[in-house]
Amino acid sequence: MACAWDFQFRVLLLGDSGVGKSALLLRYTEDVFADAPTHTVGVDFCSQEEEPEPGVRVRLQFWDTAGQERYRAVTRSYYRNAAAVVLLFDLTARRSFESIPEWHREVRERVCPLPLRFLLLGTKSDLRGQRGVTREEAQGMADALEAPYLETSARTGSNVRAALSLLCRELHRAACAGEYTPRGGWSGVPPAPLGGVETQEKQRRRCTC
Ligand code: GTP
Ligand code: MG
């Protein structure tokens, strides 16, 4: 029996507490929205499969980190060897937008060697009347970080799939262009933070199927 995917990429979600990292992933993986705030403790793990082009199966493996400062030492230990980082801020909370350069700097200092793909997301776009960051400002930040920018809503689902599918296509393209080299192995059991991308051939050596 063949393995279930051709590539897998590790994707880190970073941003201040409450910006909606967990809600975004819940919408993406289960197509549901939870109103009640539930702070992530340390790091949560989930995955989703995508088909960036017909017949190519990609598994995105997400590390959903806690934004609360008290978990920073734990979450930092997961930065290493990620293939991509999604930086999130809440469109209604300007402070979370102002934190983005700090999150970016922090991950760049700790993930070595690059290349790392970044994606910038402004969340809670459904709360139109409460907006505290303009699209132009956010696009300016994204340009400075050399990252695509999208505005998403986990509540309505707007742009959630589009954003993560865009990231998946870019990772697949980069892997095919030889811009990633698999580093280390991956046991498939979280939380071991090893290896940014792994091809099916490499995975087959570990796979029991
Ligand atoms: P930490 O785990 O503490 O880092 O927070 P988080 O970034 O994972 O935030 P979480 O996903 O728990 O969301 C925080 C709150 O924002 C919750 O009450 C969510 O229901 C709410 N929320 C998240 N996404 C949206 C959205 O798109 N629209 C609206 N209106 N609320 C949202
Ligand atoms: Mg969370």
Residue 159 belongs to domain spanning: 7-203
CA 34 to ligand 1: nearest atom? 20
Residue 58: exposed, middle, or buried by beta-carbon count in 10 A (0-12, 13-18, 19+)? Answer: buried
CA of 198 to the centre of ligand 1 (A): 31
Cα gap 165→147, rounded to integer Å: 15
Query: Based on the structure, what is the number of domains in the chain?
Result: 1
- Whose CA is closest to 59, among 32, 83, 33, 87? 83
Q: Whose CA is nearest to atom 24 of ligand 1?
A: 20
**CATH number of the domain to which 160 belongs:** 3.40.50.300
Q: Which pLDDT does position 202 carry in this prediction?
A: 47
- Ion ligand 2 — residues with CB under 5 Å? 21-22, 40
Cα gap 60→103, rounded to integer Å: 21
Answer yes or no: is 40 within a domain: yes
Q: Which residues line ligand 1 (CB under 6 A)?
A: 15, 17-23, 34-35, 37-40, 66-68, 123-124, 126-127, 153-155
Q: Do 15 and 96 contact (CB within 8 A), yes or no?
A: yes
Answer yes or no: is 2 within a domain: no
Summarize pLDDT for 36-95 with one digit per residue, the tens.
Answer: 879 999 999 999 999 999 999 999 999 999 999 999 998 988 887 789 999 999 999 999
Q: Which pLDDT does position 114 carry in this prediction?
A: 60
Q: Which of 13-17, 18-22, 202-206 has the lowest mean pLDDT?
A: 202-206
Handedness of CA 45, 51, 52, 55 (dihedral sign): positive
pLDDT tier at 180 (50, 70, 90 boundaries)?
low
Model confidence, pTM: 0.88
Summarize pLDDT for 78-126 with one digit per residue, the tens.
Answer: 887 789 999 999 999 999 999 999 999 989 888 755 678 999 999 999 9
